[in-house]
A and B are shown apart, each in its own frame.
Chain A
Amino acid sequence: AQKITQTQPGMFVQEKEAVTLDCTYDTSDPSYGLFWYKQPSSGEMIFLIYQGSYDQQNATEGRYSLNFQKARKSANLVISASQLGDSAMYFCAMRDNAGKSTFGDGTTLTVKP
């Protein structure tokens, strides 16, 4: 069974600083995908970034980058230059070889002014 672990229930970061949200995963599939979603208090899950297991380079999308360390089975999200609007819940998810997605329990990020 696939498992996603997010060990930080809550994180604080000062505005304009960078923050790393941790995610480790467990799978025996050789092919899988890793995602990060943001869930503001409004409830909608917003797709941020995707990393394929065979991708050679770490994914980047604007201020978001994914620090993919395959041997360690980690897929940490790095947010650079944090903004107040980044305050939200962040979920790491993995899609297995069969296409089924499993989500972690999330990290609440609070950006302080």
Chain B
Amino acid sequence: GAGVSQTPSNKVTEKGKYVELRCDPISGHTALYWYRQSLGQGPEFLIYFQGTGAADDSGLPNDRFFAVRPEGSVSTLKIQRTERGDSAVYLCASSFRDRTDTQYFGPGTRLTVL
């Protein structure tokens, strides 16, 4: 079956612009996660959805970052007023039920803020 997909694969934007990153989880997976991976580092947790609701958003760095999952499937990570420090690979993962299940990752979106 299809794995986690993310679009776009690459996004280049200018400082101050708004961007949206999309994640399509594995079909039937209830839990969805966003991570940010900076060069040379491991993924850093941003937010966890259980169904449509954000069960844990403690990893979002500030209020410029927001994520939604309105129908409990596809999720969109939204970044307002982008800064150069936001440049990173944004990874999405999903798991079958909740955080006790193994997470399966998508290929990531590489965001570059000029």
Contacts and interface: CB of A to CB of B under 8 A. Distances in A.
Interface of A: 4, 33, 35, 37, 42-47, 50, 91, 93, 95, 98-106
Given A95-B99, A99-B99, A44 B106 contact: yes
Contacts of A99: 48, 56, 98-100
B49 to A, nearest CB: 12
A100 B42 contact: no
A43 B98 CA distance: 24
Contacts of A95: 99-100
A106 B43 CA distance: 10
A45 B35 CA distance: 11
A45 B45 contact: no
A93 B100 CA distance: 13
Given A35-B102, A45-B93, A101 B108 contact: no
A34 to B, nearest CB: 12
**Residue picked from A44, A105, A106, most chain B C-beta under 10 Å:** A44
A105 B105 contact: no
Contacts of A102: 45
Question: Chain B: interface residue count, which band?
Answer: 20 to 34
Nearest to A92: B42
A43 B108 contact: yes
Interface of B: 33, 40-45, 48, 56, 58, 89, 91, 93, 98-100, 102-108, 110
**Residue picked from A33, A50, A100, most chain B C-beta under 10 Å:** A100
A95 B99 CA distance: 8
13 contacts: A4-B42, A33-B100, A37-B105, A42-B107, A43-B110, A44-B108, A45-B91, A45-B93, A47-B105, A91-B43, A99-B99, A100-B48, A103-B44
B40 to A, nearest CB: 7
A103 B104 CA distance: 14
Nearest to B38: A105
Contacts of A106: 40-42
